[in-house]
Amino acid sequence: MHRKNLMGKGQQSGSSAAILVAIITLLIIFYILFLPPEDRAALLGTSSSGGSSGTTYPSDTYNEDLPGKGEVIFTINPGHFDYRSLDEYEYTLPTVTLRQTTDSAMIAQATSFTVKKGWFENVEKPVYFEIADYENTKDISLAVTVSKRNGRVIVELNGREIYDDEPTSSNIGPLQLPKVSLNSGENVLVFKTSPVGMSFWDTNGYAVEHMSVQAKIYDYSQSASRSTFSISPDESENIEKATLRFYPDCMPNEVGKLTIDINDRNIFSGIPDCGIINRQAVTVSSLNVGLNKIEFATDWGSYLVDQVSITTELEEPVQPTYYFDLHENLFKKQTKDYDRCGEIDGICPEDCDEDIDKDCCFKEYDKAFWCDVKTDLLDDRCVGNLEESYCHRCRSGYEDDRGDPADMCEDRCGDDDDDFCPVGCNSNLDKDCCFAKDGDQYWCDDLPTNGLDYTCVNSVSYDSCQVCVTGYDGEDRDPSCPSEPEEDEEDELKSNVHVILEFKFTEKGETKEAVYYINGFESGFETRDDTYTKVIDNYVESGSNSIRLIPKSDLDIRQINVRID
């Protein structure tokens, strides 16, 4: 009995303890539930929203070191860009008056003389005259009026017979006096008659009532005009093209050819369009550093050449280049199975224009010529039928698929094989001009991806070599860039990652226009909005990336951003 009572008391005690523990647990739970969220998060070691602390990224795109979607990874506030500041120079030249006049002049005359010839007498008549301005005296002629004729009339000029005949009328001539028989200075005409032969009793002769020597005197003193202008060394180095502008006041049927020479090189010869503004391209190689001379001339008629100016357009000024980095984890390795239009890689991508891709140019035409730099008209960059008149359209010289210049375009600025650097030729357009510079120089045979300014450089590195597809050559023609094995794989953005370039402007409504390069690949905008955005997935790469901006209008850029979406 006593043992049973003891066991009953133990069981009762255990049940009471379990109930007490359960009550305490419930009280703790209710306590936690009714705590403020931040205290409850601190107690449990969780975020207040119930997730783990920090930003969550998709596992195939980001890791905890990368920015979140929509986050700006690069920003800058560029400010104002003045498009016209140093893009062109204009030289205004004085009005030109050209006048070529012609006057008829009597340079010799005589009246009332007689010539005879017989067995017992011989009377000849010399007439002397001078040509004061031999070069400008032309169309010299002799006219004679005779009477009482018997026998032939004979006339000699400076000992050379120019007439021997029996005239059928009293008027002889006008007889053109050959210029080769005339002297600068004194000349003589001798009038004679023919002998009588065996008729000793007879006499031949004639009487000259009047004779004259007439000519046209051409006055070229006002037929030519010369002006000068000066080009600075900095401008000369960067001239992209030049244009002559002039307004000829003339009558088309009353003028001869107008010729225009710059530094003794002819740039125009013909009848201009009278009464309107004429524009004529000027070959850059014809311009000198320092003094230049321009000459207008005509061979007949009168010109008033007004509004004369020469405009030189410079290469686009070097604008700041901005850099931003993209983490390698945003990319994945992919076997290269496509080619970009515009890359010089021996492949012409489908639907790629031959004026954009050099490989497509030589694929399109059997005898194609390619211009390494951009031309004024896109269609002029790849030419399937080259004519000499096209040569000036390519500043770097049209070249065939071997890099040799076209025969008709040789010996110009851009001819890399003539061992000659034309005066005023840009060193980035002609290999000979590049190597003519002081010190070691290196040349890229194709247009570098970073632009024309990187064609001729004074040093090379592995990074700089990446902008020249063909590799830089030294003056000894040995490659100066290390050859790297071609990789079968390249970085490509992951499918759910997009890189956005954004321009924010200070105002809306005004037209904003620019060209920009992402890692050397060209794009651009023309907008009236206050914001412009562009997906640049195809242009970016892992690591460092560059943005180079070339304004085509005045720009006020409040902000440039690059963000991940």
Per-residue pLDDT averaged across 163-167, rounded?
86
CATH of 99-220, one of 1.10.3720.10, 2.40.40.20, 2.60.120.230, 3.30.420.40: 2.60.120.230
pLDDT at 244: 94
Contact 284, 424 (CB under 8 A): yes
pLDDT at 428: 81
pLDDT tens-digit series, residues 200-210: 777 888 888 88
Buried b (16+ CB within 10 A) or exposed e, 135-169: eebeebebebbbeebebbbbbbbeeeebbeeeeee
Among the ranges 38-42, 290-294, 550-554, which has the highest mean pLDDT value? 290-294
Q: What torsion do the CA atoms of 450, 456, 458, 464 make, to the nearest 10 degrees?
A: 30
CA 23 to chain centre: 92
Residue in this structure with the two tokens 């980095």, named with its chain if needed: 325
Q: Could you give the CA distance from residue 545 to residue 543 in angstroms, rounded to a whole number?
A: 7
Per-residue pLDDT averaged across 236-256, rounded?
87
> Which DSSP letter does residue 135 get?
T
Over pLDDT 90: what percentage of the chain?
12
For the ranges 312-316, 358-362, 432-436, 484-488, the lowest mean pLDDT is seen at 484-488
pLDDT at 308: 92
Task: Give the DSSP H or E segment for 535.
Answer: strand 531-535
99-220 matches 59-85+319-334+487-565 in CATH topology: yes
User: Kindly report the CA angle at 65 between 61 and 67, in degrees rounded to 5?
Assistant: 65
Ranges of H-type helices in 272-414: 358-364
pLDDT tens-digit series, residues 49-61: 333 333 333 333 3
CATH-assigned architecture of domain 223-314: Sandwich (2.60)
How many CB atoms are closer than 10 A to CB 349?
16
Report the chain's mean pLDDT, rounded to a whole number.
Answer: 79
Non-local CB neighbours of 288 within 8 Å, separated by 6+ positions: 231, 236, 263, 423, 424
pLDDT tens-digit series, residues 88-105: 778 888 888 888 777 788
Per-residue pLDDT averaged across 423-436, rounded?
81
Structure tokens at 352: 């790629």
Per-residue pLDDT averaged across 217-246, rounded?
83
pLDDT at 13: 52
Contact 401, 383 (CB under 8 A): no
Residue 561 predicted with pLDDT over 90: yes
Cis peptide before 174 (omega within 30 of 0): yes
pLDDT tens-digit series, residues 68-90: 667 899 999 988 876 655 567 78
From 45, 189, 163, select the one nearest 110 (Cα to Cα): 189
For the ranges 40-49, 103-112, 402-411, 413-422, the lowest mean pLDDT is seen at 40-49
**Could you tell me the fold of the domain covering 59-85+319-334+487-565?**
Jelly Rolls (2.60.120)
Domain layout of the chain by residue ranges: 2-44, 59-85+319-334+487-565, 99-220, 223-314, 337-465
pLDDT at 50: 36
